[in-house]
Structure 1
C-alpha cells in the first residue's frame, strides 16, 4: 500500500461539501470546558454504577433465606454460601471501582497522558529516535502504559484470587503459577498488540482523508486472524487442551452436532481446574471447521489422564492434598446435562447469533473510526488533554474512543446487554425444541450452585449489567419439561 494508491481512493457518498465541512469542524467549547465535561461524565457514570451496585448489595444483605419461589431449586446451605461469596465480591468491587475512578480522575487532572507521551519520547530518544519517529514513540507509550496498568492491577488481582476466591473454594492457583501466568500473558499480549498499534499509526499517517476505511479493513482482518489462531496457538500456552476421550459423551455430542448440521471437527477438554473451580463451555472456528471446548470442571465424571490413579501427578500429592480432594464434593453436570448445555451453545450458532454480533461490532467499529477521522486533528481536543504542539495518533485514539465516545459507549453497552439477553432466551428455546429443556433446567441450577451464583437480583442492576438472564427467569421460560 502506498501514498499514491490511497490518494486515488474515492468514496462518492463521503466526498460531499457537508462531509468536508465536518472534516474541518472545530468545537466551540474551550479546552477547559471539554476536560470539565469529560471528568463530570466520568464521575456521573461512576455514581450511577455505584448506585446500581448498592441496590444489589442491599438485596444481598437483606435476603437471608431462600425465597419461596426458589424452594426446591436451591437449599439453604448453598444459598447462604452464595450470598456470602457475592457479598465479599460486592464489597471488593466497591473499593476497586472507587480506586479506578480516583486514579482515572487524577490522571486527567494532573496530565498523566501527556506525561506518559513525553516520557516515552525521552525513552525512545535514548535509542536515537526523536519526535519525528512517532511510531517508535507510540510503541514505547503503549508498552509503558501496559506496564503501569499491570503493576497497579496486581494487588487487586492478588486479593481477589488468594483471599476472596480462596476463601470460597474457587482458587486452584499457587502464587508462583499466578505470577508466571501474568508474565506469560503480558509477553504474548505485547507481542500481538505492539505491531498492530504500529500498523494503525502508519495507516493513519499515510491514509489521507479516508484513512478510516483502510484502518477498518485492517482491524477486521486482524480480528479474524486472532479469532482463528487464538484457540489453536495462543490459548494452549496457558491451559492444557486434550481431546475428549472416546465414549458415551463424545458419541452423543457428535450425534447432537450432526443432527443440526454443525460442522464439528474437534472436541476438546480444557484443564481449567488448575486455575479455578468455575466451569464453562464454548465453540469456535470459521465456516466448516468448528471446535467445541468443555471445561473439565463442567464434567462430573471426567478425570484427566494425568490425574488417574497411580499417575505421577497423583503420586506426588501429599496425604493432606489427597484427603482434601476426597472431602471436596463432586461438582459438574451429568452427560445429559452437558448435552443440554451444548444444545444451548449450538443454538447460538444455528440462530446466527455469533455472526450478528460480529456484524454489529464491525459496523460500530467503522462508525467509530469515521468519527475519529473527523475529530483527531482538532487542536481544541488535544489542547484539552495538554497537547499544544503535537497531535499523536495514539493519543487521539484514546481521547476520542474512550473519553469523547463515553456517552455513546454507555448507551451501546446497555443495548448490547438487552440484545444478549434476547439471544440467550432464544438459545434456551432452541435447546427446548431439541427436548433438552428439563436437562438444561437442571444444568443451569447445578452450574449456579457450583459457581455460587446468587439467584436474587435487583431488577435495575440486573437489567443494566446482566448479559445473561438471571436463573429464575431462564428456568421459568424453560418450564418443567
Structure 2
C-alpha cells in the first residue's frame, strides 16, 4: 500500500525529531510561564491577606514568602539549565554517542555488540553517572544554601556525600537487574511480549512496595518502634475503630536530614505499618539507652552532625537550645491522631488501590502502544540510530519523547484526582470528629514547613496535588 506525500512527510525522521523537540520547548515555556505567575505572587504579596490573619502571623508569613521566592528563583535557573542541556544532547546526538560509548566499554570487557542487554545496562549506568555528576552542584546549592538559609537542612557535607553514594549504589543495584529482566522479556516474549512485560512490572511494583520500607529505607534512615505511651495507645485505638490492620508502628529519624515533617503507611493485607517522622511529633526524643550507658567520656558523632558534640554528651541527647526549638514545631497527640485519621482515610476509601489500578492500566496501555511502534525504524532514525535498533533506545524514545503529550495530559488528570482524594480523606477525618484537630495540625505543619498559603490559581490548578490550605480549612469548617 502506497503512502501519500502527506503521510510520508509525517513519518519523515527529521520531521519527527523536530516535532518532538518543539513540543519539549512548548512544555518548558508553559511551565516557565506558570512558575513566573507564582513567583509574582511571592514577590507582590507582602502582607497577610485578611482571610488568613486568623491562620498565620506576619513573621511566619514573611518567612514563607522568602522561602517560596528562593525556591522559585532556584527552579527558574535550574529549569533553564536542564532545558539547554537536554536540547544540546538531542541536537548534537548525545544519545547515540552514549550508546556507542557503552558499546566500547562492553567490548573491552569481552562482550560484543550481540550482547545488547549488557550494552543497555552499561548505557544506563553511564547515563546515571552523567546525570548525577552534572546535577550535583544544583543539589548542593538547594540543600546547603536554600534549605540551610531557611533552617531546614540538618545534614553535614560529609553525611550528604555519603548519602548520595549510598543512594546511587542502591538505585543501580535495584534498577539494573529489573531493566535486564524487562529487556529480556521484550526481546524473547514474541508477539504478546507487552502482556508478559506488564505482568513483570506489576510483580516488581508490588514486591518493591512490600520490601521498600522494611529493607531499603532503613539503609538510609533509622526506624524505631514508637515507645509505649499515650500516643501509641491512641493510635492503636484509632486503627481498631476503623478496622485498620495495624501491624507495626515506627518513628523515622528524618530530622537528621531535614526539619520537614511527614507520615505515611504501607503494607498489604493484615501487615500494615504506620511511619511517623520524628519532626511531626512535638515531644518526641530518640531513645538510645544502650548508647547512654557506655562511652560517656568519649566524643561521639552521629550521622549528619556538622561538628563534634561536647565531651560526655551521649549520642541522641539534645542541647537545651535544641529542645526549646523542638517545642516550637510538630503536633501534639490529638493533632497527630487527626493527621493519621486523614492518612487512614486514604486506605478506608480505597485511594491507594485506585491509584495502583490506574497506574497499572496506564502501564499496560503504554506497553501495548510501544509494541505497535517499536518496529517503526523512523523513530530510531530521528534520534540518530540507522544501523541498529536497540530495545532500550526504543523504550527511551517512545516513552519519554513520543508519549510526552499523553504524559502531560495524564499528569494533569492525576493532579485533579489526587486533590479530590485529599478532600475526601479530610472529610473522613471529620467524620471521626477530628476536624478541629486536623485544622490545627494543618496550620501548624504549614507554618513548620514554611508553606506559602497564597497561590496563583493557574499554577495551583496544574501543580498542586494537595488543595491549598484555605480550601482545606474551608471544607473542614472551624469545628467538627
Alignment of 1:7-46 (within 5 A): 28-46=10-28
- Does residue 96 (structure 1) correspond to residue 94 (structure 2)? The answer is no
What secondary structure sits across from 1:305 in the alignment?
A: coil
Q: 1:263 aligns with which of 245, 256, 261?
A: 245
List alignment gaps of at least 5 residues for structure 2.
1-6, 303-307
Q: Distance in 2 between matches of 1:259 and 1:246?
A: 19
Deviation at 1:326, TM superposition (A): 4.8
- Taking structure 1 as the reference length, the TM-score comes to 0.92
Q: Distance in 2 between matches of 1:287 and 1:154?
A: 40
1:369-409 deviation digits (Å, cap 9, x = unpaired): 00110111211100000000111011000100000000000
Q: Is the 8 A contact 1:27 1:380 kept in 2?
A: no
Q: Is the 8 A contact 1:308 1:314 kept in 2?
A: no
What secondary structure sits across from 1:345 in the alignment?
A: helix
1:79–1:309 Cα change, 3 Å:
farther
What secondary structure sits across from 2:478 in the alignment?
A: coil
Aligned to 2:269: 287
Aligned to 2:375: 377
Q: Is the 8 A contact 2:9 2:15 kept in 1?
A: no
Aligned to 1:110: 92
Q: Distance in 1 between matches of 2:36 and 2:433?
A: 40
Q: 1:416 aligns with which of 414, 417, 423?
A: 414
Aligned to 2:441: 443
RCO greater where, 1 or 2, for CA within 8 Å and sep 6 or more?
Answer: 1
Alignment of 1:465-480 (within 5 A): 465-480=463-478
Deviation at 1:128, TM superposition (A): 1.0
1:472–1:134 Cα change, 3 Å:
same
Q: Distance in 2 between matches of 1:27 and 1:234?
A: 49
Alignment of 1:212-223 (within 5 A): 212-223=194-205
Aligned to 1:6: none
Q: Is the 8 A contact 1:437 1:478 kept in 2?
A: yes
1:382–1:309 Cα change, 3 Å:
closer
- Does residue 180 (structure 1) correspond to residue 162 (structure 2)? The answer is yes
1:119-158 deviation digits (Å, cap 9, x = unpaired): 0000000011111110110110010011001001111000
Alignment of 1:307-346 (within 5 A): 317-318=309-310, 322=319, 324-326=321-323, 328=325, 330=327, 331-346=329-344
Pairwise CA RMSD: 1.9
1:479–1:309 Cα change, 3 Å:
farther
Q: Distance in 1 between matches of 2:355 and 2:279?
A: 28
Deviation at 1:200, TM superposition (A): 1.1
Q: Distance in 1 between matches of 2:291 and 2:163?
A: 28
